[in-house]
Amino acid sequence: MKLFDKVKVLESRQRYSEREIYKGMIGTIIDAEIRGRTFNVIFTDPTPFTEETMYSIKPDIICAIYIKDLEVVEESDCTDDYLLINLPKQNPKWFCKVEDGYIINLLGEKLNKIPYDYDS
Amino acid sequence: MLAEWTSKWIKVFDKLNDVVIDDFDYEHGIHGLITTKHCVKCIAANQCWFVDEKNKKPEQMEYSFEEILKDTKNKRGLYHYNCHCKEINIPTPKESEIKLIIPEGKIGWLFKDKEGLVKKALGYEPNDDFLEYFKKQVLKSYCQGKYYILGIDEHGVAISVKVEINGSGEKTGKTYYVRSGWMVFSNGKLKNNTLIAGWWLNEVV
Amino acid sequence: MLAEWTSKWIKVFDKLNDVVIDDFDYEHGIHGLITTKHCVKCIAANQCWFVDEKNKKPERMEYSFEEILKDTKNKRGLYHYNCHCKEINIPAPKESEIELIIPEGKIGWLFNDKEGLVKKALGYEPNEEFLEYFKKQVLKSYCKGQYYILNINKYGVSISIKVKVEGSGEKTGKTYYVRSGWMVFSNGKLKSNTLIAGWWLNEVV
């Protein structure tokens, strides 16, 4: 799980519903960095952009979603180099990927202690 | 038996603390790490027996309206009790003072995901020229205070800026308002969430 | 310059926290040390600039009377906010259930310092026999609840017991009331502070 992956929301929470995000919705990870064990996810209006619809398409919604509440639907082709240039101050210590149940940074360091327990 | 249980005696009991006054030496009394978790009065009274009358048992805390108000008075901070944050007046920021942080991927996202909007609806080519123009418009609106807060989370204070775009090409002469999503960062920095999040709706800013 | 300083912009500033959202939190995550000291909202807003208007700056905490009452409602414990202590009813203690803890030095002190009082005023010889009699009288008074709390500190809950002593020898037929100082220890134990602290005054117990 990383930048520009398409992800599905697995849980409903008040902090999501306050931004009109609900379980089952699919969005795209829009920021490289993980903050507070959340990814920033953008949800866009799926209405096709046409002459008729272009002025009525709903605005995007961005919401920080806990990693434990996300599932990858479609992987992006972002490389580690591309992730690095998108990280704040290009700092490789920022946690930015989820692999094999671990939140990791570009140095390979793990944040959670128990695999798939993203609060550990 | 009934008489026993209708006695006026009580025992103080803290189910989360096994430590009692007996456990401390007579010279130093209650001391050590335990006092960071439990107050001295509670340790002193834990599992002790008292007559259930004033002056014969440790006094309960007074929770009258006046006491509650007095108690919380000095703890009431800006965002929560014991909050240290203050609001300090600053001069209106100049556009030159604002630093826009736009991760590379956001530009690609704009040109890809919002290509139709930029090209067909606004009449611009999705290129660096448009990006520079757009950034200037963002700075102008932000410094005029044309934004509102969307929410606050681990990624920061998210705002939506109302950005005025003068149409180009076929759209010349028309004026559009789009929403641009940013995180307010420290000391005048804005980190981009999404350059164009869609049309500005009817929100008054 | 004046116009600048009469601007409607504010900066949020926490003088006890250097961490700003720009750097939060590439190392520690939400469960990191910093968030145990400062709340996410405060970190998110620290050193950020906002227009001083509703919806354009982080909302202050509401401290209306109702909010304060609601806020403290679930925190109001027996002795302080968030106190876990409870008072549990128990049967009136029997004398046989009370364990008196009397450090050796206290007996020496009684026989030495209060020799005059014991001998001349009460008519007893300051010996083991008198001590046993006195202990029984202490137990009797305590179980009747004839005491009051002097104070509570790190050494425990200190009480003064009104002890009835029937005069002996020349004082036979007379009744005296002395004060005996004890610490209430857990589950019916009493630790002696001073066996006889002097005459009982007029305190009603």
Query: Which residue ranges make up each domain of chain A?
Result: 6-86
For C50-61, write each residue's pLDDT tens digit. Answer: 999 888 899 988
Give me the pLDDT at residue C35, please.
55
Mean pLDDT lowest among B124-138, C13-27, C28-42, C162-176: C28-42
When CB atoms are compared, the residue of B4, B47, B148 closest to C56 is B148
- Considering only CB atoms, which residues of chain A are within 8 Å of chain C? 33-38, 88, 91, 93-95, 103, 105, 111, 119
Å from C66 to nearest chain B CA?
11
In angstroms, the CA A114 to CA A111 distance is: 9
Give me the pLDDT at residue A11, please.
95
- C95 or C27, higher pLDDT: C95
Q: Choose from C25, C26, C33, C39 for mutation: most chain A CBs within 10 A.
A: C26
- With 80 as the cut, is the pLDDT of residue A69 above it? yes
Give me the pLDDT at residue C4, please.
52
Give me chain C's average pLDDT, please: 87
| Residue B96 binned pLDDT confidence (cut-offs 50, 70, 90) | very high
When CB atoms are compared, the residue of A36, A103, A105 closest to C25 is A36
Mean pLDDT lowest among A61-75, C77-91, C118-132, C152-166: C77-91
Angle at C136 between CA C135 and CA C139, to 5 degrees: 85
How is residue C138 written in tokens? 């202490």
Q: Where are the domains of chain B?
A: 2-73, 95-199
> What ipTM goes with this model?
0.82
Residues of chain A with C-beta less than 8 angstroms from the C-beta of B151: 18-19, 63
Q: With an 8 Å Cβ cutoff, is C31 touching chain A?
A: yes
- With 70 as the cut, is the pLDDT of residue B41 above it? yes
In angstroms, the CA C40 to CA A102 distance is: 23
Å from A36 to nearest chain C CA?
4
For residue A105, the chain C residue with the least C-alpha distance is: C26
| Residue B3 binned pLDDT confidence (cut-offs 50, 70, 90) | very low
For residue C40, the chain A residue with the least C-alpha distance is: A36
Give me the pLDDT at residue C202, please.
82
Q: Using alpha carbons, list the distances in angstroms from residue A66 to A71, C11, C68.
A: 11, 29, 31
| Residue C36 binned pLDDT confidence (cut-offs 50, 70, 90) | low
User: Do the Cβ atoms of B93 and C68 come within 8 Å?
Assistant: no
For residue A119, the chain C residue with the least C-alpha distance is: C31
In angstroms, the CA B147 to CA B180 distance is: 9
Give me the pLDDT at residue C32, please.
47
Å from A50 to nearest chain C CA?
34
